[in-house]
Structure 1
Amino acid sequence: MSLFLILALMTAAAIFAVLWPLSRRPPDEAVAKDQDLAVYRDQLDEIERDRKSGLIAAAEADAARVEISRRLLAAAEASAKAASEPATGSPLWRRRVAALVALIALPALSAGLYLHWGSPQLPGAPLAGRLNAPLENRSIESMVAQVEAHLEKNPDDGQGWQVVAPVYMRMGRFNDAVRARANTIRLMGSTAEREADLGEAQVAAANGVVTADAKATFQRALKADANNVKAQYFTGLAAEQDGRPDEAARIWRTMLAAAPANAPYRQLIQRSLARVSPDAPAVEPVAPAPGPTQEDIAAAKELTPEQRQQMVRGMVDRLAERLKSDSSDFEGWLRLVRAYVVMGETQKAREAFISARAAIGDDAEKRKRLDELAKGLGIEG
């Protein structure tokens, strides 16, 4: 019933929009001409006052008076002509026909079109049904909504918080990412990676400032793993922001010395080091990162949805090819598994999961993270 009430209100509004101008009388042309005459007379009086007060010269006053007098005569003739002619406008019968069309034909036509082309008996689709649509037909927002609905009913599901946290980061919902990562640690325990991820979200939520809370988080991460790259980098950034460039340079130089030659984060550290150390080495070229660059993001905005999908497919394929030749990139394997799931290619996600397990060998911590990801994405087994 609410739908038909809305349609009735919309129809009434359309009828009102048609009847309103029909109910207004057309302006009286003779009255308008009389108003013009009054204006010209006032202008003549104004010119005379300006001449007497010395604001304009006599010659200018005479010229202006002649021009306004000419317009006054023309307006007077038009006024007399309008008064002698019968009033024009829409005949009464035309106005009545238009009113009848608005009152009867318009609602009847609208109802007929809706009953023919619409589906008045089709029930509304519940949210749960829409969320259960095939993965490839769903947007990232709908999938996040599904996870949020699940977490609202199951707030102690650590896996759910861990899965949604990186999605919040990509969507720019940094405060939600902080909450999700804090809940992950609370429910699943503290690890160096989880603490570093939480600190990263805290920095993002503070617009790039390493706050006191973020510093404490990174310190916990370094206490668990002194070689955690993310925690090391942000600790250096904190030193730079606190006015201790020498300390920041020391941290980043140590990271560069320990980083593999093909590490994707080398350029970031080198650029950061250049800000605090004039004698820093030049930025070394490295292989392109598997994720999109700023240029990719800018170009993607100009693409059609089909072209954008092809671009994403290309990045995922390049990541898969790179992992075939360098299977030691554990974070790359995690990204590849997530990407395949988001793209709806569950079988490829399982294959990537199996390849990742083979690549990490007997590393218990990495196996645990990989198994948790697979369980959260529903591809375990």
Structure 2
Amino acid sequence: MSLWFVLALMTLVAVAAVLWPLGRRRALAGGSDLAVYRDQLAEIDRDKGAGIIPASEAEAARTEVARRLIAASSKDGPAEYAASSAGGRRIAAVVALLIVPIAAVALYAKLGSPALPSQPLAARLSVPVEQRSIETLIAEVEARVEANPDEARGWEVLAPVYLRLGRYDDLVKARRAILRISGPNAGNEADLGEALVYLANGMVTVEAREAFQRALGLDAKEVKARYFMGIAYEQDGKPQDALKTWQALVADAPADAPWLPVVQRAIARIAPEGPTAEQMADSEQMPPEQRTAMVRGMVERLASRLAQDGGDEQSWFRLIRAYIVLNEPDNARKAAGDARKAANGDAARLKRIDDFVKSLGLET
């Protein structure tokens, strides 16, 4: 049984309760009317006692019957009252049968949520309370957006939610709507490109690349567009272009940028094992925080490999030099000791290691 059928049935019962006292026979001329009205009063009392009609409605019905009884007891009253009361009953019937239900539906449509889809009770109970709450809020915002598709605020609320829930088709739709309504700017274009990348399972498609390029055309410093252009270069088999893009992004980054670790991991994924001499020289021109961020990712990969396979002396030299740049002399000394162990008693190699360590002014 549908909810609307149940609500309609309840409405009919309520209307019937209201119309019950109004449905009596019209006042008749003659002395028998008095007995009829007295019977009606008695019947109202019985209905009230049985709980069929509420006390307030019973009192209103008693008042109406009393007026008709008074009119019937007067000589000229019955005919005049019969006509007027018939009109009143018709008005009351129209109000009860039509106006009240229509007003109730209109009020629900305004204050309720008629656009929300129905959901079986079992399905609702199977969803945790927290998720039910989120789903309800999302559905309400979606209903408002559907009713007002040219208001950007609703789309802006939905877009990050769609991203978190993995609803990438809807995410792209939201980002396109925001761009259409708010107009092109670097942030909106980059957000659209990001949505297209997620929709393509991480691939920077031609359409996504075009969005990032438009963003950079509007603002050459747009962080998200620069990061994803590095991804595009990596996917195109151009790791050096990707590395250059990301290193420039790190160089421009504030030390506390929340996205900095993401870029550093990307650099570590494709950078050579350990900074080269040229990279180390370039890093000397950077502020200390940025230099540290660029070097650390490369150092960690190099140290991990050398710990496993011993490596060659040039790799050890790069590692020792990197620890000096990071201002970690203890790690540099440890790396020098590990380099000596990896030399396996080779006197010439040990001498080169010692000479290198001394050139750095590092006491061992």
Alignment TM-score, normalising by the size of structure 1: 0.39
Higher RCO, 1 vs 2 (CA within 8 Å, ≥6 residues apart) = 1
The structure number with the bigger radius of gyration is 2
Alignment TM-score, normalising by the size of structure 2: 0.41
